[in-house]
Structure 1
């Protein structure tokens, strides 16, 4: 049973023997940015990088990575995937069970949303994924991040009085958040106060960040992989 489960999850990759690169302590990463070890930056760009790398100490992601530092490469990545899926499920569960008025869960949802929001900008300005050859995996995780943002904003819209008509169900919340996130908008739901307009602008900003990350980083790498496979098949 265990062998079949390993085969299902890891395929032909040996989960027990895969060499994991040495774990880099996050404070070392902060020091590297401070010393401009990998980036010739200054001014606003430098301050933004310092903010992004420093802000990660307030969120669980780096501590989960630290706890799995002695595991094999694929197990570390698998734990990271579970965390991404967990973050995606939280707002969906809140919406489905109408828990958006639960203050503790509402704050937790925003907390995870902020982590994901900063993570996307971290990917843009501190592109550690340049060293990650698993481009398709990164794109899949990016898709989960996008779905999480859609659902998380849905929770926020459902909890507040921001729209021209009240949110009647979890479907309404997801619907408005989705059409806002993909910048469609049919006019049946729309913000009617300043807070609602600010939320919509923030969500559209997150969509722009996702698009920028995909087309400027993952898009070219996917093309390179396709070209490589085509050349190899000749």
Structure 2
């Protein structure tokens, strides 16, 4: 008797459809050899290499933008790209949770490194969005007139995902509150990924 996928079947199908719009999927296909039947291992190696470079590039660009937006107004045109990469990476991570794709011990180190890169990508991307929407303010009265700088936006983003909450910075508008809720949800998915990943190896 075939076991029913229940809720997870439609969920995985939906995530795969969303991932079909991912630019990273096309980057991965660029690494495929023309004759995958005879060169399957080589094709997989180059596909993984292309994906690793793409993830590293996204993380580096997110860091660059989060630092630059405080000094160069033209970087604000990248807000659509930042939102897109957040959605793309979230769909990828959510699909890994649903399909349990991280259980292959041969790719343990690579999956862990990519997971950390995605984590930092989210931190830098959200710091960019907090700055773009002018969503933060100082809670201390003596600093309330001062505008947070790029480092302080990145710091707030790290504090948010770590759930520490020092209280020196707070959101100043509804968009900021929405961003915090989204970022906290994404962090929860990351926790599920790493628990799923490591428990499967025990």
TM-score interval w.r.t. the shorter chain? 0.7 to 0.9
The answer to whether the Cα contact below 8 Å between 1:181 and 1:203 also exists between their aligned partners in 2 is yes
Measured after TM superposition, the shift of residue 176 of structure 1 is 0.4
* CA RMSD of superposed structures (Å): 2.2
Which one of the candidate residues 117, 125, 134 is aligned to 2:98?
Answer: 125
C-alpha spacing 1:167/1:59, structure 2 compared with 1 (3 Å) = farther
C-alpha spacing 1:170/1:164, structure 2 compared with 1 (3 Å) = closer
Structure 2 partner of 1:41: 5
Structure 1 partner of 2:23: 60
Structure 1 distance, partners of 2:161, 2:73, is 19
The count of corresponding residues between Structure 1 and Structure 2 is 184
Q: Map 1:79-158; keep pairs closer than 5 Å.
A: 79-98=50-69, 99=72, 102-131=75-104, 133-158=106-131
Structure 2 partner of 1:232: none
Structure 2 distance, partners of 1:153, 1:80, is 22
Structure 1 residue runs without a partner (length 5+) = 1-36, 225-234
C-alpha spacing 1:75/1:180, structure 2 compared with 1 (3 Å) = same
Determine whether 1:193 maps to 2:167.
no
**Tell me, what secondary structure is at the counterpart of 2:83?**
helix
**TM-score, normalised via structure 2 length:** 0.82
Structure 2 residue runs without a partner (length 5+) = 34-41, 139-145
Which one of the candidate residues 181, 198, 202 is aligned to 1:219?
Answer: 198
